[in-house]
Amino acid sequence: MYCFNCGKKISKRAIVCTNCGAKVSPILPPRKQDILRDQRALNPILSLACFLQPALGMILYFIWKKDSNLRAKAAMKWSVAGVGIQITVIAIVMVYVISFMSVFNITYPL
Ligand SMILES: [Zn+2]
């Protein structure tokens, strides 16, 4: 990279310019600290809570969306997964109930 002050080429890891001594702020990946915090923030218990109770995950998503986007997305991801599983379970139960009702009607017609 180049010094913003004197324009001389300097080391990527330089803290101060070796030519003019101007402070060079190290370039970190965007919001790396925030990302790490977000990953820790949504602990497994909370993930499970969102999974089992998707409404909670949706609420948390809107609460966290403003200041912690990744944590909000994690909550939403678990909620969507939870909704998916619940719809699947309901669909399977309904298929069984309908099958049972069909059998019931054939065996014992009113
Ligand atoms: Zn410089």
Q: Which residues hold their Cβ within 5 A of ligand 1, which is an ion?
A: 3, 5-6, 17, 19-20, 22
pLDDT number for residue 3 = 84
- Ligand 1 center–CA 101 separation, angstroms: 82
Our count of domains for the chain comes to 2
Asked whether residue 23 falls in the same domain as residue 43, the answer is no
pTM for the structure as a whole: 0.51
Are 37 and 87 in the same domain? yes
89, 66: one domain = yes
Distance between Cα 65 and ligand 1 center (Å): 40
Q: C-alpha 52: how far from its chain's center? A: 16
Q: What integer pLDDT is reported at residue 108 of this predicted model?
A: 55
Going residue by residue through the chain, which has 110 residues, state the pLDDT in tens, using 9 for 90 and above. 888 789 888 888 888 888 898 887 665 555 566 656 655 667 788 888 988 888 988 998 998 888 777 888 888 999 999 999 999 999 999 999 888 878 776 655 55
Q: What residues make up the domain containing 78? A: 32-107
If one counts every other C-beta atom within 10 angstroms of the C-beta of residue 59, the result is 14
Closest CA to 18 of 35, 34, 1, 33: 1
Same domain, 9 and 39: no
Phi, psi at 108, each rounded to 5°: -125, 75
Are 45 and 64 part of one and the same domain? yes
**What separation in Å is there between the alpha carbon of 43 and the centre of ligand 1?**
45
Tell me the CA–centroid distance for residue 28 and ligand 1, in Å. Answer: 20
Task: Verify that 5 and 55 share a domain, yes or no.
Answer: no
Contact 34, 43 (CB under 8 A): no
Residue-level pLDDT at 70:
80
| Helix, coil or strand: residue 30 | coil
| pLDDT for the residue numbered 34 | 60
Q: Does residue 11 sit in the same domain as residue 47?
A: no
